[in-house]
Amino acid sequence: MALALQAAVTVPRCPLDAPYDPRNPFAQILAGKAPASIVAETPDMIALVPIAWERPGHVLVIPRRAVRNLDDMTATEMADALLLARRIAAAQRRAFGNTGYVIQQNNGGGAQHVCHVHFHVIPNTPVEKVEHATPAQMEGMRARIVAALDASGD
């Protein structure tokens, strides 16, 4: 029985106590070594279009600082991330007409695929799954959200 339980436990990709890996995709974006479709920036945060989404308008909010999970963020960074997520959610509503959204954030669990803390801002738009967006798809998504941010004066 104990062996069966042990086999059922999956090892997380981003365990909470592991060191920060500067080779992760977000670190590469922050270092200017990888492209990104950035929709908004603050001194501490960047909002960008992910490479894959299930719902059009999906945006990620990431801290500029190398930080693995929520436990390592400062209170100011957490507040900045949620304030930017709220701005993005309002722009999503203007751009896509959605009536709601989800903010999702994972810490060391099986759903965390990039070991740099990030917040998913997912509008309740109809499902249109994209597994690996082209640069043109990402730019189109970025342009719609930026236009909606600009329309609000944000």
In this prediction the pTM is 0.90
User: Active-site residues: which are they?
Assistant: 118
Tens digits of per-residue pLDDT, 87-105? 999 999 999 999 999 999 9
Tens digits of per-residue pLDDT, 58-75? 999 999 999 999 999 999
Please, which contacts does 16-19 make with residues 24 or more away whose CB atoms are closer than 8 Å? Answer: 16/68, 16/69, 16/71, 16/107, 16/108, 18/68, 18/115
Give me the residues paired with residue 40 across strands.
47
